[in-house]
Structure 1
Amino acid sequence: MQPRDASFDEPLSPAPPTRSAPRFIARPASGPAELHALQALRHRAFFGSAGIDADPFDALSQHHVVVDHQQDGRIVGGFRTRVLQPVTTPQGAASYADSYTGGFYDLRPFAERGDTVLELGRVCVDPNVQNADVLRRAWGALAQLVRVADVDVIIGCSSFEGTEIARHTDVLCHLFAKHGRQGHGTPVLLDGQAGEIAGGKAVALASLTPTGQVLRPTDVPPLLRTYLLMGGWIGDHAVIDPHMKTTHVFTALRVADVPEARKRLADSWA
């Protein structure tokens, strides 16, 4: 028996009211030193070891950190964003293709609508900080960015641990049945990615058959749970990222589709 939808799709309840100054604050990263610290945190969060997680998209993105004022402003979370330029300009056409998400999917369905699209990526939380307020503050900051930039759609890739797609069969089937989209207007795998299906590096979600495994809310990554909480949807394939050692699904959230109560909730996290 699968859990009720509420247990799956509502990971972050409203934060309890407090009269004191907030412990966590989200803000733009200030300079190369903070970006370097954020990249180090990303490596710990994604790979479980010391190092630096950096890629060419860092130079094209805005970076944001969540700091802990109980630990002298230490960075305990972060994310990066990039507003893709209108496709009517040469720079805009290139920005859709030259993005992390655009390396896997053909994003022309968004570009051709004339949407203002924000790509969200590298969302991370310090694995030693077990506090939902870190992610809440990140989403609160994102809500403000969306408002300022007049964003129509937030896109990205939501990742599951590991590169064995079969490990996530049941949860992927559940999510695709309730939150999946396919067909016209949905980004499709690029030709090179579609060619990886035979090699097991990408799988059409409609082709999966559930095994009957009992699902838990924690089977869905926190980032994806929050997308769904706000009214987001997923694409029709699971794709392996061999560098990150993850399996991801395309994720999108049209801002106009977010219920007003959810918008107020996100604003309360800012």
Structure 2
Amino acid sequence: MAIELLTRELTLDPVSTPARFNGIGDVFGRIGSLETRLARNDREIDAAQSVRYRVFVEEMNAMLPAEAMHLKRDFDSYDDICDHLLVVDNAIEGEIEEQIVGTYRLLRQEVALANGGFYSACEFDIEPLLKRHPDKQFMELGRSCVLPDYRTKRTVELLWQGNWAYALRHGMGAMFGCASFPGVDPQEHALALSFLHQNSLVKDEWMVSARSELYRNMDLVPAEEINPRQALSAMPPLVKGYLRLGAMIGDGAVVDQAFNTTDVLIVLPIAVISGRYINHFGADAGRFAS
């Protein structure tokens, strides 16, 4: 989540801007009182930015620019070109600001390239990856967060159902994005990072690495000293969720001092998502994808 891009100026292309819906075709799934859908207006995006601030700053001790800290919103210029996936709890009485309990930021390749590039490019050298797949459209996932009381299986399922339906709707060929470990010392996550490097590293046409000036070695513990069960239990739930879907991990981690995290790059080709998850999400999400 490198802070250097929080003040970057982007020129919006009116032809390639995010999808904005007004309640028609923007709901991607429901479980009980929860539903996942796209933000419909600036007010809902502002509310999502407030949720991000509560998680990233108040919980994870990120340090944002002065204006963001004053407004108590995590925002940057990418918010103007992204679609914002929400999880809304309709059982909460009150305004939308109280009902949004989770969010993801989605950026399609055509929109990114028309407006200055992908956010992840500030940490990872993704250009060679894109050039090796001219026949695929990539989708960047970012700023994932859920309020503490809603960090449950069904909330995560709804977020992934939303991502899947959105990818189907827009014909995406692969997803990628940064996933974060707490703290800025990779050694504190040596077991998990080493397991990822040794077992889930990108290869061949999906190879992608951290930018050379930011590269931090992930292979910190010999394979014979790693207990896979312990390594998996030491990973953030989001990273484990990506692995279950069939994701690969980029070569090298990046320390983000501003967000107080150690970031890895997730690469998830649509074609390799395991069949059980396509069946689980696709059967329902497909209804919302057209």
TM-score by length of 2: 0.74
Quote the RMSD (CA, aligned, Å): 2.4
**1:99 maps to which residue?**
118
Q: Is the 8 A contact 2:253 2:262 kept in 1?
A: yes
Aligned equivalent of 1:171: 192
1:250 aligns with 2:265: yes
Match of 1:136?
157
**Could you list the per-position Cα deviations for residues 54-77 of structure 1 after superposition, in whole angstroms to 9, with x for gaps in the alignment?**
112111201111011221361110
Look up the equivalent residue of 2:280 and give its one-letter code: L
TM score, norm. by length of structure 1:
0.79
* Cα distance in 2 for residues equivalent to 1:268 and 1:76: 25
Q: In the alignment, which of 190, 195, 207 is matched to residue 213 of structure 2?
A: 195
Is residue 231–residue 259 contact of structure 1 (8 Å, CA) maintained in 2? yes
Q: Which residue of 2 aligns with 1:205?
A: 218
Q: Distance in 2 between matches of 1:266 and 1:111?
A: 26
**Native 8 Å contact 1:181 1:236 kept in 2:** yes
Specify which of 64, 88, 112 is matched with residue 67 of structure 1.
88
Match for residue 48 of structure 1? 58
Alpha-carbon displacement from aligned partner over 1:149-198 (angstroms, at most 9, x marks no partner)? 111110001100111111000111112211112566412233xxx224xx
* 3-state DSSP of counterpart to 1:64: strand
Compute the displacement of 1:209 (Å): 2.2
Report matched runs for 1:1-270 at 5 Å: 22-48=32-58, 51-72=72-93, 74-85=99-110, 92=113, 98-112=117-131, 113-114=133-134, 115-182=136-203, 185-190=206-211, 194-196=212-214, 202-206=215-219, 208-210=220-222, 215=230, 217-267=232-282, 270=285
Question: Which stretch shows the higher mean deviation, 221-230 or 140-149?
Answer: 221-230
- The letter of the residue matching 2:252 is H
CA contact (8 A) 1:28 1:64 kept: yes
| Superposed displacement of residue 254, structure 1 | 0.4
**Structure 1 residues 130 and 103: alpha-carbon distance in aligned structure 2, compared to 1, 3 A threshold:** closer
Aligned CA distance change for structure 1 residues 183 and 267 (closer, same or farther; 3 Å):
closer
% identical aligned pairs = 25
Shift of 1:212: 5.5
Secondary structure, counterpart of 2:56 in structure 1: helix
Identify if the C-alpha distance between structure 1 residues 187 and 217 changes in structure 2 by more than 3 Å, giving closer, same or farther. Answer: closer
State the 1:258 CA deviation: 1.4
Task: Report the number of matched residues.
Answer: 236
Unaligned residue ranges in structure 2 (runs of 5+): 1-29, 60-68, 286-290
Q: Give 1:134 shift.
A: 1.1
What amino acid is the match of 2:121? G
